[in-house]
Each structure stands twice: as C-alpha cells, then as structure tokens.
Amino acid sequence: MVFLRNIKQSEYIFISILLISIFLVQPLAAQEIIWFSNVPPKDAKKIVPSGMHKLSSVSGKRGQSSIIQWLRKGTNLENTSYIQIPKNEDIEFYLFSPSNKQVENKLMTKGDKSFFSYASKEEGYYNAYLIQKEVKGDTLYITIAKSELLNHSCRNGHKLVRGIVGPHLYSEIIPVEIKRKRIFTEDLHYFTTSSDNVEYQFLVNGKPVEGANLTLVTQKNWSKTLKTNKEGNSTFQFIQDYFSSWQELNNREIYNYLLYGEITLPTQGNYEGKAYSYTHYTTSLSDGYRPAKTMYMSMFWAFVVFIVTTIITVSGIFIYRFKRQRIYKEIKLDEKK
Amino acid sequence: MINATNQDRYNRLKKTSTIHYNMEVNQVLSEIIDDFPDKISGMEYFYNKFKPIEIGESLYPKDKKLIASMCIHVPIEIIHALDATAVRICSGSYSVDTAGSDFLPAKTCPMVKSTLGALYLDLLPGNAIPDLVINPTTCDQKKKMGEMGDEINKEFYVLEVPSSKDSEEAREYWQRTIKKLVKKLEKITGNRLTRGKLKKSIKTVAQAQSEYRRFMRIRKESPVILGKDALLIANAYFFDDINSWTENLAILNNELEERIEKEITVANSRTPRILLTGSPSIFPNMRTPILIEKLGGVVVYEEFCSSSRMLSDTVAVDEWFLYDMVPALADRYLKPSTCPNFTPNDDRIRKILLAMKDYKVDGVIYQTFTGCQLYDMEAIKIGKALETAGYPVLNVELDYNPKDSGQLTTRLEAFLESIKDKKRKN
Amino acid sequence: MKKNKIIKYINNSNVSRFRTIIQIAFFVLFVYGGYFFINIGQNLPTFACPYNPGSSGTCYLISAQHNLHTTWEQLFSFRGLGFITGLGSFVLFFIIFNKAWCGYACPLGTVQDWITKLRKLTLTRFTRYDEMSFKRLSKVKYVFLVLLILIPLGMSNSFFGLSEISNDMSAPFCQICPGRTVLPLFSGDTSQLFIDFTSTTTMVMSSLGILFMALFLVGSFFKKRFFCFFCPMSALQYLFSKIGVLRLVKDGSKCTKCGNCSRVCDVGITAIADDITSKNIVKDDCMMCFKCVEACPEKGALDVKFFNFKIFSSTEEGFFKRYGQDDSLTSNKKKDD
C-alpha cells in the first residue's frame, strides 16, 4: 500500500493496462476461435424463418430455401463479434454438397461482417469449411470454422435415409475435423435436443487424436471442457442453461451452442517460407438445439384425456342401452349357455 | 262356450265331420296316387303321411309342448330350439269348413273357416292338441279369427305383423314382436332359449331348405315329377318331423336324379308348363294341380305360401349369439316375404317373372278363394305385368266345395289347349 | 372340367377365413416392413403410417397434405406437378384392388377387426346405426376430406383476406388420426402419446389426437369398423371407385331381398339388399370384404369381378357350405351335384 501511494496517475493507467493485457494473454488463444453462426446480427434484415434452421435460412425463390451463415469470432456466445475476414489474409473456403461435390461459393462481406449463403437444393448435410493458416513463432496455427447443416423437406420423401445422414469427412482437404457420431435410428428429422448425450470425435488429418480439448459452450456461456479419449471421442450432455418464461417456451425455440476443439501437436514443416515445429489445430462447430420434449409435452395429461374420454363414452353407451330397456320394455335375451 | 246341450251337438258334429274328412282324404289320395300312371318309390313316405284321422291319442311326442301356427311368419326355429313341436295348422279340408261357419260369416276365406273348424273339433293332423295357437295378424280374416279363441276353447297368441316390410320402423316393430314371442314361448314350454340350441335348429331348417332347393333345381332341369307330388311334399312339411322329412326328401332327390339320367319324365316338350299361384292349395284341397295335370299340363312351380315360399330364403347370421340370431330370424321371416298382406309387394311380381324365365313357364294359373280379397286384388297387377311380358294368365275363383268343379275343368281345358296350340305353332 | 372345378372350389370357399390371413400378412408388411428395409411407396391408399418406425410406406393423405402446403402460385406452377404425380400414383395403386384396400390391407381396419373379435369374447352386443344416423354420419368423412385439403392450403395462402393459418396445424389430419397414436404402439413406440403445450393450437390438436384415439378404441369395440365411417381416405377412394378394376356387381332380378347381405355387413350398408336397380353396388362406406357375397343364397345375385372376369359369385352350394353345415346333424345322403 505504501508502495502504491507514491505512484502517479499516469503510472496507474500504465499498470492497469499491463495487468489487463496479462489477463488477456490467457484467453488470447480462445479469442482466436472463429465459427459460423446461425444467428444474424441485430441490424440484419428481418429474415423470414423457414425450414429446419429457422434462424439462418431464408425463403428463396421457387420454394427453395437459402442458408446464411455468419462469421463470428470468440467464445462468448452472447456478445461475440461478427467479424470480417480481411481480403489479404490467406484463407480457403470450401462448401460441399450432400453428394460430396464441391459447390462454387465464397465468403461475402457486407459492411463489416462476413457471411456466406447457398441455396439448399439437395437433401442431406451441407458441409462448409473456412481454413485459416498462419505461422507465429515456431507454431503453425490452423484455424477452421465448420458448418454442418441438414437440409430436408418432407415433400421430397424419405428414401435412402441411411446413406444421407452419415457424416461426411474430407480428410485430404480439411486438416482437422469434429465429427458428430450418428445415432443408430437417426433419420432426416434429427435435431439435437436438450438432455441428449452427443458424442464427438476429434480428427486430425483423418485420424482420431487423444487428449484434445473439446469445449461445449451454450447460449448463456455455460461451458464444459473434456479431453478426448483414446478413440478421440468425448461425450457431452446438452443442458438448458437458460429457462425462458413460460409464454416464450415452446417447441419452436432454438438455443445456440458452440463446440470447439484444439490441440497442439509437434510436427515439423515449412509453410510459405517459414519453418515451424508445432501445429496448433483449432476447429469449431455451431448449431442450434431444442429444449427437451418434457418441457412442453406431457404424457401424463394425454393419459388423463384418454381415460376421461373412455370412461365417458363407455358409460354413455351402457347408460343408453340400459335406458332403452326401461322405456320400451326392450327385451334382453340371456346369453348364458 | 260348450255346455251340456251343446256338448251333444258338438259330439255329433265331430263324428260326422271326421267321417266326411276321412272320405275326403281317401278320395283325394286315391286321385293322387292311382289316377296317374307314374310311380315314384320315394313318394311312398309322403303319401303315408296323409292318413285318415282316427280319433284318439295325439301322435306327437307327449313330453313336448305343441305349438300350432298359421302362415309363414312364425319362426319355427325358435319353437324347435325350445324343445317344442311346431305344427302348421292351415287346413284344406271342406268337411271342417262347415263347422267353422258357426263362428265366421259365409263369405270368409274358406281356409280360415276350415282352420277354425278343425281347431274347434280337434280334427288336426295327427290328432294334435295345441298348447298354444300363434295367430299372426296378416290378413283381415286371420285377424278376426284370433278373437274366437274363447269360443273354441283354445289359447290364441296374437303375433303382431307389420303391414309394411320395407320401412325401418316395420323391421324394428317386427323384431320386438318376435322377442316378445320368445318370452311367451319360454313361459309356455318352461325352457330357456339358448345359443347352442337355436344355432342347431337354424342349421336344421337350413338343411331342410337346402334339400328343397335341390328338389327345385331338379324340377327346373327336367320335369321328372308332377306338381301334385311336389305340393304334397311341401304340405308334409307342415307337421312332419323335420329331420325325417329332410332325410326322405334327400332319398327322393337321389331317385329323381337317377330319373333324369334315365330320361324318365312325366311330361314331354309339348306339355304346357304351368306356374300355379294365388291362394294356397293345401291338402286335401288339391283340385287345381290335379285337374291341370289330368288335363295334360304339368305344374313346374307353385308360388304358394304352402309350398315354395315356406322353404326359400335361408337365414344368415353374422355372430352366433342370441342378440344377432333372433333379429336375423325376424328379418328372414319379414323381408323377403311375398305375402300380399304386405304393401307394397313388388317383390312378388319380380319373383314370378324370374320363375317364368328360370323354369321356362308357358302360362300362369292364378287361383283365388272366394272371400280372399288380398290375392284377388293382387291378381290385377300381376296379370298386367305378365301380359306385358307376354305370358298368358288364367284367373280362377274357387272355394273348398268339391262339387263345383265342372266350370273349373272347362276353363282349364281351354287354357291348356290354347297353350298347346301356341307351342305347336312355334 | 378343370376350370369348373376351380370355379366351384373358389365359390365354396370361406372367404372370411382367407381374408383374416391376408389381413395379418398386410399388417405385418405395413407395420413391421420398414425393419426389413421394404419401402413400397409414398402414396399408398391405406394407412401405412410414417409415424410408425417400422412402416414400409407412407399413406397418401400425409403426402397430399404436404403437397398442398404451398402457395397458389407454386401449386399452379411446376410444383403443382408434384401434387398431380402424387395423386396419379395413388390412383394407380388404388384402382387395382378398388375398395378392397380397406377390407384386406388397411392396418387400422385390421386392428378394428381384432377389437371386434375381443368384443365377441365378452358376449357384448354390437351397435347398429339406424337409417337416419347412418346417412348423417356417413357425411362426416367428406367433411374431414375437405378440411384436410383446405387447411394446408390455408397455411400458405390467405382465404378471403383472413390471416394464414398457423404452421402448428401442419398435416392437420395426421394430428387427429388414430393411426398416428395407435399404430406405433405395435412397435412399442409410445412417443406419439402426448399433449403439446407449446401453443393453444398444438394443445387443442394434440388433445384431439388423444381424444380420437380413445374414441377409436371404444367405438371399434361397440361398432364393427367404427372408424371406417369417418375415414377421409375412404371418401377420397370413393371418388375414384367407379374406375376400379375389382368390382362388386349385383343382378337385381335375382335378388329376393332377404337382407342376408346387409345383416352380415360389418359397416351396416342396407343398400346392398334394398337396391335392386344399380349394377355397381359399392357404396362410399363399403370396404369390399365380400361377406355379403358369401351370405347370399341366390345364384348369381352378387358377383365379384376383376377385369370383367367373375372371380367369386354367390352360389347356393357355397352358401350352404358356409352357413348351413352343422356337423352334429346326421349327414344326408347326397350325391355330388
């Protein structure tokens, strides 16, 4: 305290900036997480919700919906910024259709925000990847933002479900991936629901990696970090960290989550003239999840309705039959053998 | 009411009536059996059924109640299922007709008078003494006959038959009537109607009807048996035990099928094929078919309630429980009935026209009893329908008196001749 | 002749027993076929419910409701072609067996027949509708059909300037259909038994769904084929029934109006007995189970025709074999006819 009393005003500011920057160093790595988000920024035009991903998709012409995915940076879901990729940076962007063909597409910038948009014509999962590579010091930073969205319309029928719902991996082009394990009975109406246990696998160059940090962040910034096991898997249970008021809670509500994984592996190499001896892989996946069915659906009340209806109908019929005997002296013949 | 002085009169009447009845029976039997050269061995059983009456014990099983019925609207399956004997007592005898005239005016239907007389004098086939007489309210005459129960010392039960058979209300009404009848019969017989017994009796009657249908198919195919015999077989159904009736009809059918193979027929291609319809011919009132066949015609189909109507339309049941079997029986005894007491009765015209086609009939003889208004009135409509279809019709009116056959013979002869002429020309 | 023998054998056969076997076979096909990867089509004229996980096809009504969930412009544009082809494939499936789809193939119908068998064990009397009720109730299915066409259209377009119907009414008939709630139970799936409290619309519709399930079960217990009276599939089928290849014809001149046919009719149609002028006797409630033909003792009064060949006729011999035989009676000496 005596020490501090003698420091001047300007020195206070300098020390505080130093302290803040020390704290900022820690999450600096986390700040480098880039991800594709369904949620449009507040000043974007009001988007007509349609299709399965109601926040992100837009009704296009001739009944085909377009998907917009916004580029964001950071791990604070509530107020991370929408960023814009500077033009001179070294980035690669890939969009794959459900039949594993690369679709011509690129990131667009409007104002200070970047996004990409595609018309979802085929049934199945569209995968999009943004790859950023940079050498800092002796480490090559490979940062990937992944978007994996399912497109389905019941109008097109439900054929060959097994083939369509399977995960797509592009290990030759995409260095690091997060793969969601499919449920055995998964069909084209899959949507992550709160209380689901979902298993994710962290893959580098197509091979599972043990010991990677996978973190799940939910809408109000609850987060959980798990290390992957020998097969590269971690299982997360989705929770609801946010309970809206009763009137707002409905099956239409979609919460957002961000899943990101990172690991540093010792690899030697050369990238654009710079040598590196470590590679830091980061990848992200973001989508929505629904509130648990038990939040708005009740089997108990269904049972009550069923029992009440049955009792009323059956007793009504028997009362009618009994009354019929009385009024007209309807004769009931005895069925005993 | 029969008191002491009346008792003498009653006894005398009974004795004379019995003698006359037996004379009548013997005469008709001899005509049927002896006056025709053709002999079918299977008919022996049926001829033996019609014997003269010997006053004495009833020939029916003593441990069972005897339920007498009239018309074709009483479900005999129910009576069988309650372990009772069912006898249809519609009578064709002139001898007891006069006895019935005590209770009914002279211009009444002779069959009703005859039945009433037979009941009064206990001159029923097999000396039957009914425990209950079921009287359906079909025609006017039968309705009023039912009021004579006290006079003749018999218990009558009025079975309410609706006047229409097409409407839903009529069906509902009739089903309730039948259920009430079941209750009454249960009380009389002391037995309860059970599922198994009713199912069995429905199937027994179905067997009988199946046999009779086979009989009719044989007649359709080739004229191997005369109408007088066919009528006798059907009349035997009134009072015979149903199982032995069915068995013996089956034996007769086998013989007739052999006859078809051997080509033994009672008529050739030039014989006029006649359809007989109208007021029912009941033994011993068999004048019309006997005369027709003596004069060279052959009766191929009788549309009488004493013949084919009684044995057609079999019951089908969906669930073999009482709640379905009893309404099914009720429906069968109402819906397809072509009795003229129902209005409208277009079904009878359709049935006759279908029979004309199926049995290759040449002409129709329509008989009406004096005093039978219903058949008389229907004769006009049916006559018109047959004329439009191009068939000749002869209307004859007669009663039970065997003495006025002269005019009948002449008219029948002329009719048959005209048909024979037409056939020869074609 | 061999041909006559075959005809005689068929005419004498017990069609009801044959029908029970066919019903079981189709039930297994439609309710469990999906587990064996069987997929018959999307436009079936019977209740193969897609809510049932093992379903091997989809009932046409759900396809129709999804197809009609478009705007007017889209319906009359190329997308309307999808509706036409769906309807076309439905009609092609349908006309081969005409209304026999109801009597032989429909799993809901089979369930109702099983409930009827259960009722017989309890010796309870079945209900018959009187003529007035029959005529009135018979119209309800057309009301359902019109509603299930109009409501999806009303969800995408506005009728008479009123606002569009909420999306919660999507597939309105499926939400109240007893097939959705009852058929999955056969796969052990109770996930359709709920009341959804998300909005008033979903609450009302899901309550109606449970209510209809209770009414279905109770109604089928007391009235044979209770639901078939109210089935919009039956109404839709009847519109095309006249061009069906399988036909039921009546020769009125041979009919004695004994009423056997309408007595054994599960649905309770009196027109089979009372109508002696029409040739084609299939009414909108008829499910072509052919019990009427079995119960008719007049030769040639009722015929079943397939491409104008009589494949099953009413005969005297057949009738007495089915209804007249009783083993306890002494056998009559009969020669073969």
Q: Is residue C330 part of a domain?
A: no
Q: Given this model, what pLDDT does residue C226 score?
A: 93
Same domain, C39 and C90: yes
Residues C265 and C155 in one domain: no
Query: Would residue C233 count as lying in a domain?
Result: yes
Whether C334 has its CB under 8 Å from any CB of chain B: the answer is: yes
Query: What confidence score (pLDDT) does residue C111 get?
Result: 95
Domain at C303, CATH number: 3.30.70.20
8 Å CB contact of A335 and B321: yes
The set of chains that have 3 or more CB pairs under 8 A with A is: B, C
The 10 Å Cβ neighbour count of residue C277 is 7
Give residue A90's pLDDT band: very low, low, confident or very high (50, 70, 90): confident
Neighbours of B348 (CB within 10 A): 21
Would B403 be classed as within a structural domain? no
- Beta carbons of A333 and B196 less than 8 Å apart: no
Q: Is residue B359 part of a domain?
A: no
Same domain, C168 and C184: yes
Residue C253 in any domain: the answer is yes
Supply angle C-alpha B263, B267, B271, rounded to 5: 140
pLDDT of B231 = 93
Residue B389 lies in a domain: no
Cα nearest neighbour of B351 on chain C = C256
User: Could you give the ipTM of this predicted complex?
Assistant: 0.87
- A82 token code pair: 């929408």
In a domain, C191, yes or no: yes
Q: Tell me, yes or no, if A2 comes closer than 8 A to chain B by beta carbon.
A: no
Please identify among residues 93-112 of chain C the ones whose CB lies closer than 8 Å to any CB of chain B.
none
User: Is residue C112 in a domain?
Assistant: yes
- Contact check, Cβ <8 Å, B195/A334: no
The pTM score is: 0.84
Look up residue B426 and give its two tokens: 């074609």
CA distance B218 to B227: 13
The residues that bridge with B302 in the sheet, in sequence order, are: B276
Residues of chain B with C-beta less than 8 angstroms from the C-beta of A330: 176
Q: Is C257 found in the same domain as C182?
A: no
* Contact yes or no for A335 and B192 at CB 8 A: no
Task: For residues C63 and C157, state if they share a domain.
Answer: yes
Q: B210 vs C316: CB contact, 8 Å cut-off?
A: yes
Cα–Cα separations (whole angstroms), residue C17 to A57, B209, B380, C112, C226: 55, 25, 48, 16, 21
CA distance linking residue A99 with residue A125, whole number of Å = 9
Q: How many domains does chain B have?
A: 1
B127 conformational bin, left if phi > 0, alpha if psi -120 to 50, beta if neither: left
Regarding whether C115 and C200 lie in a shared domain, the answer is yes
- The pLDDT of residue A169: 82
Question: Are B340 and C284 within 8 A, CB to CB?
Answer: no
Using CA coordinates, name the residue in chain B closest to A332: B323
Which domain CATH number covers B143?
A: 3.40.50.11890
In a domain, B386, yes or no: no
Examine the domain organization and report whether C170 and C201 are in the same domain.
yes
C44 and C181 both lie in a single domain: yes
d(Cα B123, Cα A2) in Å, to the nearest integer?
A: 146
- What's the domain count of chain C? 2
Contact C60, C173 (CB under 8 A): no
Share of chain C above pLDDT 90, in %: 50
Whether B117 maps to a domain, the answer reads yes
Interface of B with C (CB under 8 A): 166, 168, 199-200, 203-204, 206-207, 209-211, 213-214, 217, 243, 246-247, 250-251, 254, 257, 312-319, 321, 323-324, 327-328, 331-332, 335-336, 347, 350-351, 353-354
Which residues of chain B does A331 touch, with a Cβ-Cβ cutoff of 8 Å?
Answer: 176, 179-180, 182-183
Residue B233: inside a domain, yes or no? no
For residues C212 and C289, state if they share a domain.
Answer: no
| Per-residue pLDDT tens over the stretch B303-330 | 999 999 999 889 999 999 999 999 999 9
* C162 and C263 together in one domain: no
Q: Which amino acid is at B275?
A: L
Please name the residues in contact with A279: beta carbons below 8 A apart, sequence gap of 6 or more.
Answer: A139, A140, A141, A142, A264, A265, A267, A269
Residues 6+ apart with CB under 8 A from A15: A7
Measured between alpha carbons, how far is B228 from B226 in angstroms, rounded to an integer? 5
B129-133, C74-78, C195-199, C200-204: lowest mean pLDDT where?
Answer: C74-78
Domain that holds residue B90: 4-41+57-196
Spatial distance between the Cα atoms of C217 and C226, rounded to a whole number of angstroms: 9
pLDDT computed for residue A248 by the predictor: 63
On whether residue B184 sits in a domain, the answer given is yes
Please indicate, yes or no, if residue C332 is contained in any of the structural domains: no
* End residue of a domain, out of C219, C238, C257: C238
Mean pLDDT score of chain A: 78
Rounded distance between C-alpha atoms, residue B76 and residue B64, angstroms = 15
Mutate one of B315, B339, B357, B358 to test the C interface: name it (highest C CB count within 10 A): B315
Q: Where does the pLDDT of residue B260 fall: very low under 50, low under 70, confident under 90, or very high at 90 and above? A: very high
Q: Is residue B190 part of a domain?
A: yes
Same domain, C233 and C145: yes
pLDDT band for C23, please (50, 70, 90 cuts): very high
Q: Exposed/middle/buried for B373, CB within 10 Å: 0-12, 13-18, 19+?
A: middle
C147 in any annotated domain = yes
Which domain, by its residues, includes C271? 246-322
Answer yes or no: do C159 and C269 share one domain: no
User: By the 8 A CB rule, do B395 and B162 touch?
Assistant: no
**What sign has the CA pseudo-torsion B336, B337, B338, B341?**
negative
Rg, chain A, Cα only = 28
| Structure confidence at residue B273 as a pLDDT band (50, 70, 90) | very high
Last residue of a domain, one of C218, C238, C258: C238
Last residue of one domain, picked from the residues C214, C238, C262:
C238
Using the predicted structure, report yes or no on whether residue B351 has a pLDDT greater than 90. yes
Please report, as a single letter, which amino acid is at residue C10: I
